[in-house]
Amino acid sequence: MERFFKLKENNTKVSTEVLAGLTTFFTMAYILFVNPNTLEQAGIPWNAVFLATIFASAVGTLVMGLFANVPYALAPGMGLNTFFTFSVVIVAGYHWTEALAMVFICGVINILITVTRIRKQIIASIPPSLQNAIGGGIGIFVAYIGLINAELVLPAAAVPMLSDFSSMGPILTMIGLIIIVALLLLKVKGAILIGIVATTLLGIPLGVVDLSAVQFTTDYSVVWSDFMSVFGQAFNGLGSLFSDPSRYLQIFMMIFAFSLADTFDTIGTFIGTGRRTGIFSDEDIKKLETSKGFDSKMDKALFADAIGTSVGAILGTSNTTTYVESAAGIEAGGRTGLTAVTVAVCFLLSSFLAPVAGLVPGAATAPALIIVGVMMLAAFSDVNWTDLEEAIPAFFAGIVMALAYSISTGIALGFIFYIIVKVVKGKTSELHPILWVSTALFVLDFVLKAWTNWGM
């Protein structure tokens, strides 16, 4: 173990790595309940998503630990799962199997750009201000979904309204929100997971959780049956996804949005936590832009992340990505892949929770969505809001994303206004060709939608 993970070289030991892995797992384990509740709204059986979340997280995290030897954990990404459900399935009208097919394609694309120099060109094309605005915008979107799921905000015909708290669901959500906020402020490890469990337990006497409606089973037959009905459906979705040529442009836009959000979320996590702790050296980060193949730990880590997305789609979940909550384990001393392996084992063991996991109501997971959204808003701090050249595109990429109820629409408007700003200021030389092409495709998509709506 010492030789494989190079523990002494990284100034760590087995006990430290295991403790770090446990810390990371309990910090991010809320996804076991939040992801099924989110994707169930897209039509995927809750039990299937529960097991898919476990297996996708375990596989991706194992590859991260054993291949890249870094202490990062993977799981279906927050924001990406809401984009999957609300933007792709509910709003755009794609079947969930087709949405899984898009995620699978996204993973394949990310694998290709990881082993070639294309990655460098894509990273260079998106200005940092837009990257940060997109990250913060996804945070607002996630929090807004949490508010709606909890019925704290009621999306009326014209203007969203605050709940009148005439039912116990919103009241329970407020209680859960207060619990999680208090635990986070007190720096309790696993605060979000503890909050979900505590809120669920409180929901029993409040009548929100109905124990009689839960089928407690010891043979897991129902759970596994649901999972097997979803396993591999991404390939079936590939067939129907491209059956209508009129949807090709929109499909491309959605895959592009999946890939863009996934890529920069992962890179931001690596650079934000890896440079300060020495997990990734300055040479690793420099090679991110100049190398191809697996010349550094960063290359290997990005490859593991891309593998996680494709495998997750086959298993039946949205994009599996590197979790920023890995920072909790890193702060606890995790420095090698042994931390990641520990997290993967914890995910596999959590499959035994399947008989009782269905008890967790939306009122208990909604506070987690809201708090995760708040955490993601930190990306806005790196946008210079006093400079209109940055602020205008950032506003449309970040704020309008939530108001339009669409991550892809926010990204599109951010790109379009960034182009407009640079053209007006006479700074077109700063615009990368990829940005021009992407923006042109976004504009074409808007035109075609308007053309269709006008009945032309």
Q: Is a pLDDT exceeding 90 seen at residue 328?
A: no
Residues 6+ apart with CB under 8 A from 452: none
Distance CA 226, CA 327 (A): 34
Predicted confidence (pLDDT) per residue in 11-45, tens digit: 899 988 998 888 788 778 889 988 999 999 999 99
Average pLDDT value for residue range 337-344: 95
Q: Is a pLDDT exceeding 60 seen at residue 156?
A: no
Under the banding of pLDDT at 50, 70 and 90, the label for residue 449 is: low
Query: Average pLDDT of the chain?
Result: 85
Q: Which residues pair with 161 in a beta bridge?
A: 154
Percent of the chain with pLDDT over 90: 37
Residues 6+ apart with CB under 8 A from 127: 418
Average pLDDT value for residue range 107-125: 78
Sequence spans of domains, the chain: 2-125+157-249+267-368
Predicted confidence (pLDDT) per residue in 47-68, tens digit: 999 999 999 999 999 999 999 9
Average pLDDT value for residue range 262-282: 71
pLDDT at 155: 63
Question: Is residue 110 within 8 Å of 306, Cβ to Cβ?
Answer: yes
**HEC letters along the chain:** CHHHHCCCCCCCCHHHHHHHHHHHHHHHCCHHHHHHHHHHCCCCCHHHHHHHHHHHHHHHHHHHHHHHCCCCCEEECCCHHHHHHHHHHHHCCCCHHHHHHHHHHHHHHHHHHHCCCHHHHHHHHCCHHHHHHHHHHHHHHHHHHHHHHCCCEEECCCCEEECCCCCHHHHHHHHHHHHHHHHHHCCCCCHHHHHHHHHHHHHCCCCCCCHHHCCCCCCCHHHHHHHHHHCCHHHHHHHHHCCCHHHHHHHHHHHHHHHHHHHHHHHHHHHHHHHHHCCCCHHHHHHHHHCCCCCCHHHHHHHHHHHHHHHHHHHCCCCEEECCCHHHHHHCCCCCHHHHHHHHHHHHHHHHHHHHHCCCCHHHHHHHHHHHHHHHHHHHHHCCCCCHHHHHHHHHHHHHHHHCCCHHHHHHHHHHHHHHHHHHCCCHHHCCHHHHHHHHHHHHHHHHHHHHHCCC
Under the banding of pLDDT at 50, 70 and 90, the label for residue 456 is: very low
pLDDT at 71: 94
Q: Is a pLDDT exceeding 80 seen at residue 70?
A: yes
State both tokens at 255.
């895959």
130 or 241: which leads in pLDDT: 241
Confidence (pTM): 0.75
